[in-house]
């Protein structure tokens, strides 16, 4: 879960207003706003997964940007996003599939990262 300073400040501010408010309606409204804000944080974080960090933690043991390791270099991989997505999802020979290990959004971020580094 990613919490940046703006979000933390927003949550602290809503909390402060709940404590200060002496009107019951306002308290309920602000408490609901706080819940919505907190619930939206993981969604925001997972909607913008970081392709580079996913690549570093799942792929670099077998792949490098420009050198062959156990698997081909990123620069020698297919440049077709659909081929990349299919291979990452289903795997290929010694390449393990990541279906169920990475979300669709994470695989999309990875594909963008690979294409951007070719
Ligand atoms: C255990 C080692 C290993 C890991 C971990 C691994 N790969 Fe692979 N990968 C391979 C091997 C080996 C191949 C070659 C498969 C073949 O063509 O027989 C391959 C092939 C690929 C291909 C196909 C290239 C092409 O153009 O045909 C892509 C794309 C790919 N890997 C991406 C990834 C990504 C992204 C990750 C991380 C999520 C990853 N791999 C993790 C070993 C691995």
Tokens standing for 100?
């169920």
Nearest CA to ligand 1 atom 5: 59
pLDDT reported for residue 1: 45
pLDDT band at 22 (very low <50, low <70, confident <90, very high): low
Q: Looking at residue 10, what is its pLDDT?
A: 61
pLDDT tens digits, 55-86: 999 999 999 999 999 999 999 999 999 999 99
Cross-strand partners of 99: 102
pTM above 0.75, yes or no: no
Q: Residue 48 — pLDDT band, cuts 50, 70, 90?
A: confident
**Cα–Cα distances in angstroms (integers) from residue 50 to residues 5, 15, 61, in the given order:** 19, 30, 18
List the alpha helices (DSSP H) in 21-80: 24-47, 51-58
Residue nearest to atom 18 of ligand 1 (CA): 93
| Rounded CA separation 53/21 (Å) | 42
- DSSP assigned state of 76: G
pLDDT band at 112 (very low <50, low <70, confident <90, very high): very high
Ligand 1 contact via 109 beta carbon (within 6 Å): no
């Amino acid at each position: 879960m990613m919490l940046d300073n703006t979000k933390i400040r927003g949550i602290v501010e809503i909390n402060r207003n709940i404590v200060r408010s002496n009107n019951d309606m306002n308290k309920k409204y602000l408490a609901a706003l706080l819940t919505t804000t907190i619930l939206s944080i993981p969604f925001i974080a997972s909607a913008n997964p970081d392709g580079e960090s996913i690549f570093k933690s799942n792929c670099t043991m077998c792949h490098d940007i420009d050198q062959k390791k156990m698997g081909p270099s990123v620069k020698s991989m297919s440049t077709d996003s659909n081929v990349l997505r299919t291979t990452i999802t289903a795997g290929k020979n010694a390449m393990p599939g990541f279906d169920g290990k990475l979300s669709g959004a994470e695989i999309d971020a990875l594909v963008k990262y690979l294409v951007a580094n070719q």
